[in-house]
Amino acid sequence: MNLKKVCGIALLLLTTFSAFAQLPVEVTGVVKKKRVSPVKLFKVVEGKAVEIANTIPDEKGGKFGFLFYPEYEGLYVIGTGNAMSPNDNYKFYFKDGDKLSVSILDSSYVLNGKLNSKENVVMTQWHDYVNPLEQKAINFMRVQSTFVDFFPKLEEISAKTNGFLAGKVTGNPKFDKFMKRNMEWDMANYASNFLNTPRSAHPSVEEYSPFYATLKAQDFAKNTAGVYSQPWGSRTLSGLIGVNKRQHNLKFTGGLDNLKNDLNYLPNDTLKGDVVLDAAARYKNFEDYKTLMDAYGKYIMTASQKKRNIDVASPLALLKAGDEAMAFSYPDKDGKAVTMASLKGKVVLVDVWATWCGPCKAEIPHLKKLEEEMKGTDVEIISLSTDDPKDKEKWLKMIKDENLGGTQLFAGGPGNDFSKYYKVNTIPRFLVFDKAGKIVSVDSPRPSNPELKKLLEKTLSAK
């Protein structure tokens, strides 16, 4: 075994995950493939596989290993494939202190020894049971298969799945409950992936075997946790929507109409947000992105979705004069939310600052003077604090002690959405927006520069 490589990974994961668990998971294995490639360890994040470690097997014996503290009890993935696909990747169930010994083969795997957990013994028995479907549906580049041979095998195996778990009680109630649903996800994955991948012959909807009538995307999307627990949960759900649309004779139309049809299959608003973001990630320009968000941005609700939304939007936003302003929402000093939309009809000056920033504080007297000079006009001055959340009381105290005017908002740390979107890497930074909520300048003069007042007056007078 390449101990240096294994230990390096172990130390990395020990440092990262030590706060989450007491006992590490120990994985040892051998790669028995014609072509030896790096072995990867993936965790599951919101229905997708995310690589957390990799190691190069020993050149002589193909040995490899991982030692890590699990962030959660549930599914992880080990294999030689990539995060996007189940090809050459295999699911395992880990909890604190588990051991796994495995041999990775060209198109499957086997467990070694007797130290494997009861949960992974059952997982492997299930994998072996449905392996004929996996080979035909997932490894389609190696195993040539059409619906003529796949559908009978799908019906044969699906008819027996209800009895598979009989007598397979592991003593872990959480796993025993989870496993039944996991089996349903696997069957849905194989069935949908088969129809959505290249074949030499494709069936008409009328030729679908009976099992497909039981597959309804709505059933798999009833709760977010079920989708998020699977490494290819989002992919499988998308595949099921595609199958259901064909069953309902809904043609692919492209654009927002097609997305609307997809969203109709999702009873869960959080999952709708994920699908909207998947669509947004394919856009090439900000105008299309904005049209999408105007229609369906209401589904971007969770913290991770908001972060992903910024990551998608930032490269598209040219941030030039006339572009739409970011639709922010931040609390003021009294906790009341202030949004960009609520400022329509005003010329808006945003001051991005922090209490610890010397150059920011040097601009305060000039900003107060500017505020006095703009009194009675339609200019709204927003001071957006990027102080760390732990320093919020310090921010509130400074507002009071310095008698700071304007509208004081708290963005919640230097990594806030506004700073990311407008690429604010240094502060202070001043931005100007017109009455219609359009960008005038994302890097305007500072209040100490008379040119800022001229810019505000020019924006006020613009028709």
Residue 4 confidence (pLDDT) above 80: no
Chain segment 16-67, per-residue pLDDT in tens: 444 444 799 999 999 998 887 899 999 999 999 999 999 999 988 899 999 9
383 falls in which pLDDT band (50, 70, 90)?
very high
Q: Residue 11: its pLDDT value, please?
A: 42
DSSP 47: T
Residues of the chain with pLDDT > 90: what percent?
Answer: 80
Of the candidates 453, 455, 425, 451, the residue with the CA atom closest to the CA atom of residue 441: 455
Whether the predicted pLDDT of 282 surpasses 60: yes
DSSP letter at 284 equals -
Can you tell me the distance from the alpha carbon of 324 to that of 320, in angstroms, rounded to the nearest whole number? 9
**Rounded Cα–Cα distance for residues 301 and 308 (Å):** 11
pTM value surpassing 0.85: no
Angstrom CA distances, 101 to 38, 78, 114, 408, stand at 17, 11, 9, 58
Q: Is the pLDDT of residue 9 over 50?
A: no
Q: CA-CA distance, 195 to 185, in Å (whole number)?
A: 16
Predicted local distance difference test score (pLDDT) of residue 17: 45
Q: Are 147 and 203 in contact (CB under 8 A)?
A: yes
Query: Which SS3 state, helix, strand or coil, does residue 11 take?
Result: helix
- The pLDDT, as a whole number, for residue 320 is 85
The whole-angstrom separation of Cα 232 and Cα 47 is 6
The arithmetic mean of pLDDT across residues 368-381, rounded, is: 95
Q: Tell me the C-alpha to C-alpha distance, in Å, between residue 269 and each of 275, 296, 298, 299, 355.
A: 10, 11, 9, 6, 38
Return d(Cα 113, Cα 110) in angstroms, integer: 10
d(CA 319, CA 327): 13
3-state secondary structure of 319: coil
pLDDT given at position 415: 84
